[in-house]
Every structure is written in C-alpha cells, then in structure tokens.
Chain A
Amino acid sequence: MRLPFSISSVRLPREQPTRNDFTTALTKSAPLSVSVFTYGLAYGALAHSTNHLGLVQSLAMSVFVFAGASQFTILALLKQGTAFWAIVSSVFLLNSRQILYGLSLGQYLTKVKHGALPFLSHGLTDESYSVSILTAKEQELSSSFFAGAGTAIFVPWLISSALGYLIGSMIADPAKFGLDFAYTAAFMGLLGAQITSSMRLLTVALAGLAAAAAAHWYGTSGAVFAGAVVSFMVGVMEK
C-alpha cells in the first residue's frame, strides 16, 4: 500500500502544461456553466433579501465557500437566527459528499504537482466532478483540465452572484408580497433536482417527517441534523 507522504519523495514525470486541456474543459463544461449562472442569480437575490449581508460579503461567500447548496442554506439559517457553529456544521454535513468526489477523482490526479493540489482542490464541485470523472475514464486527467473544469463553474458563479444581488436590490420592493416564500420555493427546486428515484422520494418523506418533528423541539438546526441523519441511514441501508 502506498502512503500519501511517500508521494512527495517519488519523482513523478513533470506534467507538460497544456492550454489545450484547459479550453477543452471550458467547452465540455459550458452547459453546466449556464446552469450554474442561473443558480447564482437566485443565490444573489436571496442574499440581498436576508438584509444581513452586503454585496461584498455575499460575494466573499461565493469566493471562499463556493458551494451553491451550502450558500442557500447559510442564508436561510442566518435569517432564522441559527447559532454560528450549527451553521458551520450544517455546511460541513452538506458538503461531506465532496470528500467522496475527491476520493474518486484523486486516483486519476496522480500527475498533478503536489503544490498545485491545494489550489486546484478549491475548484471541486458537483459540476466539475461530473465533467472530470467522465473525462478521466476516456483520457488522462491533467491539472490543466481540472483547473478548467473548476474555472468554468467559479467564474459564472461569481458574476451571477453579483448580478443576482443587484437584481434583488431593484425588485425588493415589488416582490415584498412574496419574498417570505422565496426560500421555501428555492429549496423546493433544489429538492426537486434530487428526486431521481422512488427511493429518493421515500428518503424525502422520512427525512421530512423527522425534520418536522425535530423543528418543533429544536428549531431549524435540529431539523437539518435530523434530516441529514435520516437520509444518510436510508442511503446506507438501501440495497
């Protein structure tokens, strides 16, 4: 068995930087870039409606957290006055699936220079994972490709977060009749995208039930943990 720390002592053949792979990744990710752009508009508009975060803070979140579902959740939890560590741990739980993306993709990234990985890893998302893993099965995955797949998501996410925030500030007044419902509806959309099988529908029912009960006693953060635990257990027990 190889150990992670042994890698730095092994001289790997230096990878040739290929601009080509970078642009190939941008092209392959284009449909996802468009979809991420529309997600970002929703995020920006909601960030404005919280009345908690300024434009710079909302953008800082898009730069440093750079995870759509988590950012929606942070906003909703902030709005409900959830405690600091409850928000942070919800974010960790929500993103824990990315550990798997890393484990699955890491085996194809053996040629990436050691010092580059900490930077490249920030570009790991649902979208860049999908594009990269499909490519890794056809050809060798270079760091240029992985960088391109990350950039294809990062840039539209930033631009659309800012644009969404500005649109939100313009429509805040006319939309005040319905803004309280915006979060629930946005999460319904995120949930809809996850319902891909009847098993997932069962998970929604069980997790929703547990969450509703937990919300009654422990509030929103209790609901999130109950939902996460139940769905994890259903996933593990699934045949």
Chain B
Amino acid sequence: MNSVAYVWLIAACGIATYLTRLPGLWLGRVLRVRPRLKRGLDSIPVGVFAAMVVPSLVNGVAKGGHINIPFALAALVSAVVALWTKHPLWTMISGVVSIALLRLL
C-alpha cells in the first residue's frame, strides 16, 4: 500500500469503528440484547488476540525446523509478564529487552 492508500485505510477503519458506536447507542433506546449474543460478541477480542499471538509464537519457536531457544525463552518471559501485569506496554518492553539480551549471549 502507498501513502494515499493509508489515508483511505484510516478513513475506512474509522468508518467501520464509528458504525459500531453510533447505531448501537441509537438503537439502545428501543432494543434489548440477548445474553447469549452478548457473551459471543464479548469473546471476539480474545479470539482475535489469540490469532495474533499463537501462529507467530509457533513460527518463531520452530523457525527453520529447529527450536529457536532465544525466541522460546523470550516468549516465556513475556507470557509470565502478560499474565502478571495484563498490560501490553510492560509485556512489550520485557519481551523486546529479553529477546535482545538473549540474542547477544
């Protein structure tokens, strides 16, 4: 994509997000949601995040047919920090620092 396409992408993603904001608030005055549907939609982010994490972990750890030890250890550190802090910034910093250090060893 070139930089004009980025402008369109930002616009389209902005509209897609806006469509999840205004119509709901508007319809909220007349509609009620079923709990099942609510739980389903509530779970979508978990699935999306898992989809961003799991394949890249599998690829990173098993890169080139053998186990990539620095990657595997950094992933372990990040997983612990992720479950402990539950925060992307601290997990990102610990992950980047640990993989950089492990690669220097």
Q: Which residues of A are at the interface with B, using a C-beta cutoff of 8 A? A: 1-4, 7, 35, 38-39, 41-42, 45-46, 52-54, 57, 60-61, 64-67, 69-70, 72-74, 76, 78, 84, 87-107, 109-110, 117-118, 120-122, 124, 175, 177-179, 181-195, 200, 203-204, 207-212, 214-216, 220, 223-224, 226-236, 238
Do A192 and B100 have beta carbons less than 8 Å apart? no
Shortest distance in angstroms between A171's beta carbon and chain B's nearest beta carbon? 9
Do A178 and B97 have beta carbons less than 8 Å apart? yes
* C-alpha gap A98/B28 in the complex (Å): 12
Of the candidates A60, A76, A179, A212, the one having the most CB atoms from chain B within 10 angstroms of its own CB is A212
* C-alpha gap A178/B71 in the complex (Å): 10
Q: Which residues 34-48 in B have Cβ within 8 Å of A in the complex?
A: 36-48
* C-alpha gap A105/B20 in the complex (Å): 13
Do A177 and B53 have beta carbons less than 8 Å apart? no
Sample (25) of A-B pairs whose CB atoms are under 8 Å apart = A52-B1, A53-B6, A70-B17, A76-B52, A84-B1, A97-B42, A98-B20, A100-B38, A101-B24, A102-B24, A103-B25, A105-B25, A117-B26, A177-B99, A178-B97, A185-B92, A185-B96, A186-B91, A189-B92, A193-B87, A207-B50, A209-B54, A223-B55, A227-B47, A232-B47
Known: A102-B24, A185-B94, A185-B96. A228 touches B17 (CB 8 A): no
Do B94 and A103 have beta carbons less than 8 Å apart? no
Q: Which residues of B are at the interface with A, using a C-beta cutoff of 8 A? A: 1, 3, 5-14, 16-33, 36-58, 60, 71, 74-75, 78-79, 81-92, 94-100, 103-104
Do B33 and A194 have beta carbons less than 8 Å apart? no
Do B51 and A192 have beta carbons less than 8 Å apart? no
Do A98 and B21 have beta carbons less than 8 Å apart? yes
Do B52 and A183 have beta carbons less than 8 Å apart? yes
User: Which single residue of chain B is at the shortest CB-CB distance from A184?
Assistant: B56
User: Which single residue of chain B is at the shortest CB-CB distance from A219?
Assistant: B55
Interface SS majority for chain B: helix
Do A84 and B14 have beta carbons less than 8 Å apart? no
Of the candidates B16, B19, B58, B90, the one having the most CB atoms from chain A within 10 angstroms of its own CB is B16
User: Which single residue of chain A is at the shortest CB-CB distance from B12?
Assistant: A88
Please pick, from B17, B30, B98, the residue contacting A3 in the complex, using a CB distance under 8 A. B30
Do A107 and B29 have beta carbons less than 8 Å apart? yes
Shortest distance in angstroms between A2's beta carbon and chain B's nearest beta carbon? 5
Known: A191-B49, A204-B46. A185 touches B31 (CB 8 A): no
Residues of B within 8 A of A208 (CB): 50-51, 53-54
Do A235 and B51 have beta carbons less than 8 Å apart? no
